[in-house]
Each structure stands twice: as structure tokens, then as C-alpha cells.
Structure 1
């Protein structure tokens, strides 16, 4: 868990939770990628767990999804 600047802890999501969260909002992975300026392939790989989001665009995607 990472701490917010206010001192409160925020729970991180699993890739599956992030995917379900987008689906519940009616947002496709493609729409999310376009809106945030990411490549669809990278977003898909992060959500599927293929890309662990350790660095680069994968990490930026993971942060945007609340995984990291």
C-alpha cells in the first residue's frame, strides 16, 4: 500500500480489479488507452499481467490504473 500525502493509506488494485473497474464504468481498454495517451497493447498487457509495470510506459499505465 502507498500512503497519500495526507497520511491516509490507499489500497492498490490488482490487474483484474482495474479491468473490472473500467468495465463497470463502461470504459473499454482502447478508450482508456486513447484518453490517457497510452498504446492499447501496453494497457492490455498490464491488465493481463503480461507486463508487470516495473518501468517505462507499463509503469505509467499501472499507476494510472491504480495498480502501482
Structure 2
């Protein structure tokens, strides 16, 4: 029974810290865009990872020449 004198104030302090963390995260914009990162990972990057010099891009055969 005496442990309640410790546990109740400790629980209240933890609840206050959790509420403060939630309010801080809302004010700092952590929950502003919930769908953006989910859609961003699905978008393709059209740019190559290692850019090639412009000459090599011009010298590449077109797709029509490969089909012949």
C-alpha cells in the first residue's frame, strides 16, 4: 500500500512528460504531412545515379536501330 505513494506521482509525471512530448511534436510539424513520404518512395527517379557525359548520351543508338 505504501508503494502507491511513489507510483501515483511517478505515473502522473510520466503522463505529463508524454503529453508535453506530443504537444511539442504537433507544434513542430511532425504530423503535418502523413502521406507525402509514403507516396515519395513510390515515385521513380528518371535521372541516372551516375551521370554520363553529354557525348555518350548523343552516341547511343536509338531503340529503333536495335529493333532492326
TM range (shorter): under 0.3
Q: Which has the higher contact order (CA 8 A, sep 6+)?
A: 1
TM-score w.r.t. length of structure 2: 0.17
What is the TM-score when the length of structure 1 is the normalising length? 0.17
Q: Which has the larger radius of gyration?
A: 2
Higher share in strand: 1
More helix by share: 2
